Chains A and B, each alone.
Chain A
Amino acid sequence: MLCIDTDAKGDLASTLGSPPVGFQPRVVQSNVSVLTLLPEESLQEYLRIYFRVPRFARLTPLARIFDFIATGVPGAREMLVIGKIAYEEKQRDPDGSPVWDIIIIDAEATGHVLPQLRAARTMLELVKGGIIRSQVEWIDAILADPQRSLLTVCALPEEMPVVEALEFQARARRETRMHMGACFLNRVMPVTFTPRQRRVTELMAAESHAAALSEKLGGDVGTVVAGARLAQRLRENGEKHAKRLREGMAAPVIEVPLQVETRPGLATTRAVAAALLAEAGM
């Protein structure tokens, strides 16, 4: 598996227990590699592969032509991001099997990722011929093929993130040719009360009961019950938004329970992975 970090902050590598990684894929866990996508490095690799421009020749006029195109043509810089991803998808071992079984991209925020996803379309509209057009065409074909690439969206069980996720879906449909694969609803409060449990909790909250229970159980039961009721209300509020998300999302909504992490890292990633496996019944 290849995981690609697109914002060069090294967050993705750290969630997989690795120090920051560079542009070349590095194995960080068994069968898991990570690379950080940098447009400048992507440009250099492009020049090396397709035009045999060596790294030391970056200041030659030929290389500067590409600098010019990357700067001047709308969508070109985004294409360097999306093109690298498509290039990795096309990589094959000598026996013809794909180098990567799956590639997961940690994309930028929605405001930035849509220009990247529609960069191929943008360029196809502007560039009617030449080498770049044919290259953009195969990238566009990969993005449009649901057997090869899918879009997933992450949301939180809150009003505005849900609105944004649904708007993102609508814009992705309108502006790209990609298919929606799934929606991950993150930080779901993992607290559920049956109606009976809720009723008993309400009884426990009554002042006289809470005082008597505090005496019997050794501690402040009233505060414990208040905390449990707060968790319950947070869960119910989240459920309201989760329902709206499920109704509007044209893909399965997968819940990821809230993790009490102190910092993102491998332990949190493992906990989330275990939760996803549990959600899938595995």
Chain B
Amino acid sequence: MNQAEAVDLAERLGDREVVICAGSGGVGKTTVSAALGMAIVAAQEKRVLVLTVDPAKRLATALGLESMGVDPAPVPRARLKRVLGAQPRGELVTAMLDMKTTWDRLVERLAPDRQSAERIYRNPFYESISDAFVGSHEYMAIEALYELHTAHEYDVLIIDTPPSRNALDFLEAPTRLGDFVGARLLSWLAGPTRVGFRAMGFAAAPFMRMADRLLGSDVLEDLAVFVRDLQGMYGAVQQRAREVYRLLRAPGTAFVVVTTLEPAPFAEAEFFCTKLHEFSMPLRALVVNRVLPDWLRDRDAVAAAHTMLENGRAAAAISEVLGEKVGADVPKRVGEAFTLLNRLAERDNRQVSRLSRLGRVPVARLPLVDHDISDLEGLALMAAVLRGEQG
């Protein structure tokens, strides 16, 4: 595909059930997710939910909303109509992930019975596990996505992944809870009750003595109870991980990798695309954000900037044209400012040539804007680019 060609990502992604926007922190994933949702509902009769997992409420900022809750809330159609210039054909709904609620629902759903679930909720280990569990944001993002998908309330689910420096956190999240719950030593502890464990005598005694010495006498009891209850979820958790992976690999799922052309995020995007391939997960599009305009690489402009920086008579020439005395600082400052952006644009251009290495998929290029996208108007402009209307 010609990467300079405008592509309609809304058309290409609007028929998917799940769209996962991934990429490193700070590249604009949340804004792109919101704009993509807007682009889809502008043209298609779809009910689209954009889910953000970020406690910083970035989607709320991007949507120009003062606050956003964990319960899905529609973006008013009148507001969408105003910024899109036409009645949206679909409905745009937003929500934010609530970690605690998602953990609670997970336990409620997967625990073998109500009593086990209640014991897990009350255990002091459960209090801290949701934050302490490595990658819990990633896991809960996928869990919420799966839950919403199975509820079939929305035609398209768009989720922006947590800002993570390690893409594997997200892709490996479904197996991590299973690994945790199923850890062999946890099984060993959870098998008998602790009293029974003590009764095992010879074999278990050194283990118990050492564990008691390390952790103290009370904590092991709590942990044993907690682990035993979690073990009751093991089969369901494993099944869940398999189903989630099936969803992530399904034809109805699309991964969209969002990046800027700066070296570090670009390298992360390359890494993530490689991992998607390894995990057999479907990369469907790339969105390159904050692309500098081509005119910054104009040769005639570069020549003029060079003259301003190097030619001592530039100030005199400007003075003559403007009819007022201009110091040498002016051409120097103007020349420096242009040259800085020119160097960035040249660097970006070299990066663009590497885009094809990320995958043979449509590429949308969103131009750099000199202001923040923090209202619906800004999102609508971005949505238009994602629909291939302008760039």
Interface residues as binary, B269-306 with A (CB distance below 8 Å gives 1, 0 otherwise)? 00000000000000000000000000110101111111
| A162–B296 CA distance with the chains assembled, in angstroms | 28
CB contact under 8 A between A224 and B128, given known A129-B216, A159-B374, A190-B340: no
Determine whether A204 belongs to the interface, using a CB cutoff of 8 Å to chain B.
Answer: yes
- Cross-chain contact A193 with B132 (CB below 8 angstroms): no
Partner of A217 from the list B217, B311, B330, B338 (CB cut-off 8 Å) is B311
Determine whether B185 belongs to the interface, using a CB cutoff of 8 Å to chain A.
Answer: yes
CB contact under 8 A between A109 and B165, given known A61-B207, A260-B344: yes
Tell me the nearest residue of chain A to B138, going by C-beta: A111
Determine whether B320 belongs to the interface, using a CB cutoff of 8 Å to chain A.
Answer: yes
Determine whether B317 belongs to the interface, using a CB cutoff of 8 Å to chain A.
Answer: yes
Determine whether A212 belongs to the interface, using a CB cutoff of 8 Å to chain B.
Answer: yes
| A61–B211 CA distance with the chains assembled, in angstroms | 11
Partner of B318 from the list A11, A62, A78, A200 (CB cut-off 8 Å) is A200
Residues of B within 8 A of A164 (CB): 56, 58
| A127–B55 CA distance with the chains assembled, in angstroms | 29
- Cross-chain contact B338 with A228 (CB below 8 angstroms): yes
Determine whether A40 belongs to the interface, using a CB cutoff of 8 Å to chain B.
Answer: no
Partner of B25 from the list A109, A200, A237 (CB cut-off 8 Å) is A109
Binds B, one of A18-26, A89-97, A118-126, A176-184: A118-126
- Cross-chain contact B321 with A133 (CB below 8 angstroms): no
Most buried by A among B321, B341, B370: B321
- Cross-chain contact B219 with A74 (CB below 8 angstroms): no
- Cross-chain contact B330 with A126 (CB below 8 angstroms): no
- Cross-chain contact B372 with A237 (CB below 8 angstroms): yes
Binds B, one of A30-38, A248-256, A261-269, A273-281: A261-269
Q: How far is the CB of B346 from chain A (nearest CB, A)?
A: 9
CB contact under 8 A between A219 and B296, given known A127-B216, A213-B317, A213-B321: no
Interface residues as binary, B355-391 with A (CB distance below 8 Å gives 1, 0 otherwise)? 0000000000000001110100000000000000000
- Cross-chain contact B26 with A161 (CB below 8 angstroms): yes
Determine whether B342 belongs to the interface, using a CB cutoff of 8 Å to chain A.
Answer: yes
**Chain B interface SS verdict (over half):** helix
Tell me the nearest residue of chain A to B206, going by C-beta: A61
Q: How far is the CB of A138 from chain B (nearest CB, A)?
A: 16
Residues of B within 8 A of A67 (CB): 183, 185
Determine whether A137 belongs to the interface, using a CB cutoff of 8 Å to chain B.
Answer: no
- Cross-chain contact B304 with A224 (CB below 8 angstroms): yes
Partner of A219 from the list B166, B301, B318 (CB cut-off 8 Å) is B301
CB contact under 8 A between A122 and B311, given known A164-B56, A209-B322, A224-B338: no
Task: Scan residues 182-236 of chain A and give those whose CB is less than 8 A from a CB of chain B.
Answer: 189-191, 193, 197, 200-201, 203-204, 209, 212-214, 216-221, 223-228, 230-234
| A110–B24 CA distance with the chains assembled, in angstroms | 13
- Cross-chain contact B216 with A111 (CB below 8 angstroms): no
Determine whether A156 belongs to the interface, using a CB cutoff of 8 Å to chain B.
Answer: yes
Determine whether A7 belongs to the interface, using a CB cutoff of 8 Å to chain B.
Answer: yes
| A264–B125 CA distance with the chains assembled, in angstroms | 41
Determine whether A102 belongs to the interface, using a CB cutoff of 8 Å to chain B.
Answer: no
Determine whether B178 belongs to the interface, using a CB cutoff of 8 Å to chain A.
Answer: no
Please tell me the size bucket of the interface on B.
35 or more
- Cross-chain contact A216 with B321 (CB below 8 angstroms): yes
| A228–B25 CA distance with the chains assembled, in angstroms | 28
- Cross-chain contact B30 with A160 (CB below 8 angstroms): yes
| A200–B329 CA distance with the chains assembled, in angstroms | 11
Determine whether B350 belongs to the interface, using a CB cutoff of 8 Å to chain A.
Answer: yes
Determine whether A41 belongs to the interface, using a CB cutoff of 8 Å to chain B.
Answer: no
Interface size on A, residues (CB 8 A): 82
Determine whether B77 belongs to the interface, using a CB cutoff of 8 Å to chain A.
Answer: no
- Cross-chain contact A72 with B317 (CB below 8 angstroms): no
Determine whether A150 belongs to the interface, using a CB cutoff of 8 Å to chain B.
Answer: no
Q: How far is the CB of B180 from chain A (nearest CB, A)?
A: 6
- Cross-chain contact B129 with A74 (CB below 8 angstroms): yes
- Cross-chain contact B301 with A223 (CB below 8 angstroms): yes
| A190–B137 CA distance with the chains assembled, in angstroms | 36
Determine whether A75 belongs to the interface, using a CB cutoff of 8 Å to chain B.
Answer: yes
Determine whether B109 belongs to the interface, using a CB cutoff of 8 Å to chain A.
Answer: no
Residues of B within 8 A of A237 (CB): 370-372
Interface residues as binary, B10-41 with A (CB distance below 8 Å gives 1, 0 otherwise)? 00000000000000011000100000000000
Interface residues as binary, A137-163 with B (CB distance below 8 Å gives 1, 0 otherwise)? 000000000000000000010111101
Partner of A209 from the list B55, B321, B336, B341 (CB cut-off 8 Å) is B321
CB contact under 8 A between A73 and B263, given known A61-B206, A160-B58, A201-B334: no
- Cross-chain contact A218 with B303 (CB below 8 angstroms): yes
Residues of A within 8 A of B341 (CB): 227, 230-231
- Cross-chain contact A74 with B133 (CB below 8 angstroms): yes
- Cross-chain contact A159 with B372 (CB below 8 angstroms): yes
- Cross-chain contact B263 with A228 (CB below 8 angstroms): no
Partner of B214 from the list A132, A204, A232 (CB cut-off 8 Å) is A132
CB contact under 8 A between A204 and B216, given known A126-B125, A191-B336, A261-B263: no
19 contacts between A and B (CB under 8 A): A11-B264, A61-B206, A67-B185, A68-B189, A69-B215, A71-B186, A109-B165, A112-B134, A127-B216, A129-B217, A156-B26, A191-B337, A213-B304, A218-B303, A220-B300, A224-B304, A224-B334, A228-B337, A261-B263
Assuming A69-B214, A227-B296, A227-B338, what are 19 further A-B pairs, CB within 8 angstroms? A68-B188, A69-B211, A72-B227, A78-B134, A109-B165, A111-B137, A122-B132, A125-B128, A126-B128, A128-B219, A129-B217, A130-B216, A158-B372, A220-B304, A227-B341, A228-B333, A231-B341, A237-B372, A241-B372
Across the A-B interface, give the 9 residue pairs with the lowest CB-CB distance, nearest first.
Answer: A219-B304, A129-B216, A74-B132, A223-B301, A68-B185, A219-B303, A220-B300, A227-B338, A130-B216
